[in-house]
Amino acid sequence: MHSFDDAISPAVAVAMLQGQGIKISERTLRERARELGACRVIGKAMFLLPVDIEAILEASKPVRRSASAPSASAWSEADSLALYQRLREPRKKRQAKLPD
């Protein structure tokens, strides 16, 4: 069970982050906390526990791409060849058909 002694408001969390040189708005922190479900809300009041702050920080890590797995392209060598051939064909002038 958690204690209210460790609870802080989003405003206090933002002030702590800004004290460390990390610029974030209270609104952004509140939105992110709600999005992750990493907050406690009673009525209109929102507060954060240390476990919530850890969840927000963990979710904020950038996703690392695997260097060994090449990205799959939907464009194939055959598609490239077909496009090349189409671009090399001489253009035909379109003639408007006149009604009979």
Q: Given the structure tokens 């904020």, which residue do they identify?
A: 60
* pLDDT score, position 30: 96
What average pLDDT does this structure show over 22-50? 95
Domain boundaries, the chain: 4-59
Residue 26 is predicted with a pLDDT of: 96
Task: Tell the residue number behind the tokens 């009979």, with chain if given.
Answer: 100
pLDDT digits (tens, 9 = 90+) for 39-69: 999 999 999 999 999 999 999 998 887 666 5
Residues 6+ apart with CB under 8 A from 52: 33, 38, 39, 40
- The model's confidence at residue 5, banded by pLDDT at 50, 70 and 90, is confident
Q: pTM of the entire structure?
A: 0.60
What pLDDT, on a 0 to 100 scale, did the predictor assign at position 3? 74
- What confidence category does residue 4 fall into, taking pLDDT thresholds of 50, 70 and 90? confident
